[in-house]
Chain A
């Protein structure tokens, strides 16, 4: 089956630093990718829709300057958490919508961010 790879799978950083998380579709092209955030024992909340070659669309309440999304190619979207704070500690999961395969959706394994 199709694979979506997220990297890193976990990261610990100091408060004030920026962290980049990659979401890569390994064997298919994805014009659109989605970024979700999941706090402990909670559900997934959509943060933004990432479109190749254009600006991301952010959900209400998500700070676009805080969570920078870049979708520079058909196989890669990146989420950068800028000036991270402890409250940004969360599980970040991406999904990729295949341009072929009837637009099937595939999820990455997630990236756990801990901000000290």
Chain B
């Protein structure tokens, strides 16, 4: 399956700054999800946004979805050193493929204390 693109591939910021990551995808979707992965570890689910939603918030996270442009963004506000990780978007086409995710290439975020 084709994977989406994420940019930037790597992002380095100072603690307290905001971090924005973008994701583009190629097919129609049922929902789009964002995950965090610390080095060598499993995935942590951050947030899910459905195709009929445009924006969603969870704590310091804000996700937007533009289905016309097939793109999404993840904003982490007031970043912390503990936010250092790889971030992946993943799309779910739903229907009989529900749960079958196509992941983006990921953004490596480094937050300097």
- Listed in ascending order, the chain A residues whose CB lies under 8 Å from chain B are 6, 32, 34, 36, 42-46, 49, 59-60, 91, 93, 95, 97, 103, 105, 107-110, 112
Q: Are B99 and A93 in contact (CB under 8 A)?
A: no
- Listed in ascending order, the chain B residues whose CB lies under 8 Å from chain A are 1, 3, 35, 40-43, 45, 88, 90, 98-106
Q: Are A46 and B1 in contact (CB under 8 A)?
A: yes
Identify whether the interface residues of A are mostly helix, strand, loop, or mixed: strand
A110 partner, pick from B42, B90, B102, beta carbons under 8 A:
B42
Assembled-state Cα–Cα distance A6/B88 (Å): 21
CB-CB under 8 A for A108 and B100, given A43-B88, A43-B105, A46-B1: no
Q: Which one of B41, B101, B102, B105 has the highest number of Cβ atoms from chain A below 10 Å of its Cβ?
A: B101
A-B contact pairs, 26 of them (CB 8 A): A6-B42, A32-B99, A34-B99, A36-B103, A43-B3, A43-B88, A43-B105, A43-B106, A44-B88, A45-B3, A45-B103, A46-B1, A59-B1, A60-B1, A91-B40, A97-B99, A103-B99, A105-B101, A107-B42, A107-B45, A108-B42, A109-B41, A109-B42, A110-B41, A110-B42, A110-B43
